[in-house]
């Protein structure tokens, strides 16, 4: 069911309503596409719609509810995203991180954040970027090598849902943009190399930078069960163009490869922090306990 609250949230010289589903994001996206609402209006678990669309959306089947009821419905559905995790709320904190990493190049950080907020992204968005950066902080005690931090910023800067090709394009983008921002050639090359490792997450044994980058990218596998299920749903939404069968087959290949890795995490800190829980999540997914046809073809 689709629900809408009254237009009472001010922004851009008008008032906005929130549009949600109590069933799933697929239903919500289908409704908004049919109603002609832009993907840019999506904010993680709802769409922001201007008041002039309210009556039209109600006529198309959105059920009007109070603001409080809409929040309760969203929480009960399990789809609600905490405010801190909304892509729209992360621009400021992420820009602060960027400006500490590469002072004097704020425009580049802003360009990257625009890429990380493209409307087709459901998992590979600003939330994923922040989670990878925070995982690197955990692994290093906030002493992240500069090439690794830059690789985190660029590793999914190009995301079109084409495994391998996206990482190659992201590495090329880093090679094009970082020198103009004053980054040394050796650092740029290392950044590009690290991005390439996120295709298969299989760095060499002595590759500390590679281990940091791939472990941080895989930290999502160690979420608590509800968070892990939310991660898989978000990846599934990025592959909505695939049938359930094709999606499930691809996801099983990826999960099987990860489950067979020994060790899964290549840094001592990563193994201590995440190995046990990640293996439980992967084993549960392979056993069909959670997803039953809702798997995906890449991380």
| DSSP string computed for 133-146 | HHHHHHHHTS---H
Q: N- to C-terminal Cα distance for the chain?
A: 29
Neighbours of 37 (CB within 10 A): 20
Answer yes or no: pTM beyond 0.85: no
- Residue 289: the pLDDT is 55
- Residue 292: the pLDDT is 41
Per-residue confidence in pLDDT tens, the chain, 299 aa: 999 999 998 887 899 999 999 998 889 999 999 999 988 788 878 999 999 999 999 999 999 999 999 999 998 988 888 776 777 778 889 999 999 999 999 999 999 999 998 878 889 999 999 999 999 999 999 899 999 999 999 999 999 989 899 999 999 999 999 999 999 999 999 999 999 999 999 999 999 999 999 999 999 999 998 889 889 988 988 888 889 899 999 999 999 999 999 999 999 999 999 999 999 999 999 998 544 433 333 44
Tell how far CA 28 is from the center of its chain: 18
Q: Which residues pair with 7 in a beta bridge?
A: none
| CB-based contact 195:167 (threshold 8 Å) | yes
Q: Looking at residue 125, what DSSP letter applies?
A: S
| CB-based contact 294:232 (threshold 8 Å) | yes
- Residue 286: the pLDDT is 92
Distance CA(46)–CA(43), nearest Å, equals: 6
């Amino acid at each position: 069911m689709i629900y809408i609250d009254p237009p009472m949230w001010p922004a851009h010289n008008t008032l906005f309503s929130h549009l949600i589903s109590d069933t799933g994001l697929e239903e919500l996206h289908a409704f908004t596409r049919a109603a002609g609402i832009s993907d840019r209006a999506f904010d993680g678990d709802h769409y922001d719609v201007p008041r002039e669309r309210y009556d039209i959306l109600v006529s198309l089947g959105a059920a009007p509810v109070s603001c409080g009821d809409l929040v309760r419905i969203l929480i009960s559905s399990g789809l609600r995203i905490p405010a801190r995790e909304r892509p729209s709320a992360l621009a400021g904190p992420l820009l602060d991180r960027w400006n500490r990493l590469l002072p004097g190049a704020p425009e580049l950080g802003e360009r990257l954040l625009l890429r990380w907020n493209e409307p087709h992204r459901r998992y590979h968005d600003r939330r994923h970027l922040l989670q990878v950066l925070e995982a690197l902080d955990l692994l290093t005690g906030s002493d992240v090598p500069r090439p690794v931090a830059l690789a985190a910023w660029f590793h999914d800067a190009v995301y079109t849902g084409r495994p391998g090709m996206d990482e190659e394009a992201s590495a090329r983008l880093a090679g094009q943009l970082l020198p103009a921002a004053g980054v040394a050639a050796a650092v740029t090359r290392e950044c590009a190399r690290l991005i390439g490792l996120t295709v298969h997450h299989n760095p060499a044994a002595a590759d500390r930078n590679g281990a940091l980058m791939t472990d941080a990218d895989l930290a999502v596998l160690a979420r608590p069960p509800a968070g892990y299920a939310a991660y898989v749903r978000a990846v599934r939404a990025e592959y909505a163009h695939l049938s359930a069968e094709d999606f499930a087959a691809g996801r099983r290949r990826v999960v099987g490869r990860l489950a067979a890795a020994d060790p899964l995490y290549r840094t001592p800190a990563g193994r201590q922090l995440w190995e046990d829980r990640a293996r439980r999540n992967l084993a549960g997914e392979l056993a069909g306990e959670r997803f039953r046809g809702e798997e995906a073809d890449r991380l």
